[in-house]
Amino acid sequence: MRTLHARPHAWKLREPFAIARGVRSEARVVIVELHEDGRVGRGEAGGVGYHGETPESMLAQIEQVRPALERGCDRHELLRLLPAGGARHALDAALWDLEAKQSGVPAWTRAGIADWRPVDSAVTIGIRDIAAYEATARAHAGYPWLKIKVGKGSPLEAVAAVRRGAPRARLIVDANQSWSVEELRAYVPALQPFAVDLLEQPPALNLNDRSWIIHTRSEERPPVRIEMGALIGDSMITDGSTIATGARVERSVLSPGVYVGPDAVVRESIILNGTYIEAGAIVERAVIDKDCVIGHSAIVGEIREDAENLGIVTIGKNTHLPTGLKVGRGARIGSDLQNEHFSKAAIAENAYIHSAVRSD
């Protein structure tokens, strides 16, 4: 029998960690343990503060899926139970760890990685005075990557100090969205002499910023309709779309006039104009063209984090998938196909179904 233990914890930091959004002296996390047959799988996550995640919110999400986990839920089922975020991260890590201990096979082997190799990571230098930037860089000059946290205003003195301290390290400059677009334009050429490899989160993306207009053309449609009990996260829903009761849309883009039926799920997908996703259907990692119909309880694609590729499904315009059809990862389905063109209950992974050609 499997049991779940979850608790908050605060790790004390060696020094206060300062970034553009503030300073903290501890890392608040949630720690998860899965106990089963004398073995323990452990996981931990800090969540993303600017997405509103806290140890308390993550624990609440974990409690929601406790029954499924204690019944034996695996990593793949977990992807359907929780959206991406700290709670799922901690539980996923615990499940990987538990599987490895139960099987005696390391997690990296189970993930299909042929050879274990070290991965370069960056040492992060928080905001501090200029002399301390240089001294800290010098103390970590042997590391391949250094990330320099900077705030509002010119980063040049800080970056120059780190470059003096670590002449050979590759540099990342992270402003945590504290710069304006105008500042970004000014700082990029000024940073070139310091051989900066990457600028991370320089400005915040604001689609309503009149100084950085993104030109598009909207259709004349009624407002978005979101019914009671629907859940939308990290997605863009455009005019004329309807998200029905119990539906879930995560990390997706829905074009005008898309309908997502009751208890249907759309994850990590792009759905174009006028497509109709019927009740109970599941769409994951798919690009679906205009005016398609995804039949009741059909399953299109699958998110598999352990796979070697994304396995994106593509479906051509005006294609109607029948009730209950299962479409494997990476399948390509042509345009103008109707129910009679699908004589099997499933389409294999990476299959190519031409327009007006039966799937058998």
* CA dist list (Å): 63 to 51, 98, 305: 20, 19, 23
pLDDT band per the 50, 70, 90 thresholds, residue 278: very high
Q: What burial letters (b/e) apply to 37-69, b meaning 16+ CB within 10 Å? A: eeeebbbbbbbeeeeebebebbbebbeebeebb
Q: Reply yes or no on domain 122-200 having CATH 3.20.20.120.
A: yes
* Candidate from 125-139, 193-207, 227-241 with smallest mean pLDDT: 193-207
Q: What is the mean pLDDT of residues 99-113?
A: 89
CATH class assigned to 225-353: mainly beta
Burial class (CB in 10 A: 0-12, 13-18, 19+), 269: buried
Averaged pLDDT of the chain: 91
Domain locations along the chain: 2-110, 122-200, 225-353
Q: What is the mean pLDDT of residues 325-348?
A: 91
CB 285 within 8 A of CB 301: yes
- For residues 311 and 308, the model is more confident at 311
CATH class assigned to 2-110: alpha beta
Does the structure show a pLDDT above 90 at 305?
Answer: no
Determine the pLDDT at residue 73.
92
pTM for the predicted model, two decimal places: 0.59
pLDDT band per the 50, 70, 90 thresholds, residue 307: low
Determine the pLDDT at residue 187.
94
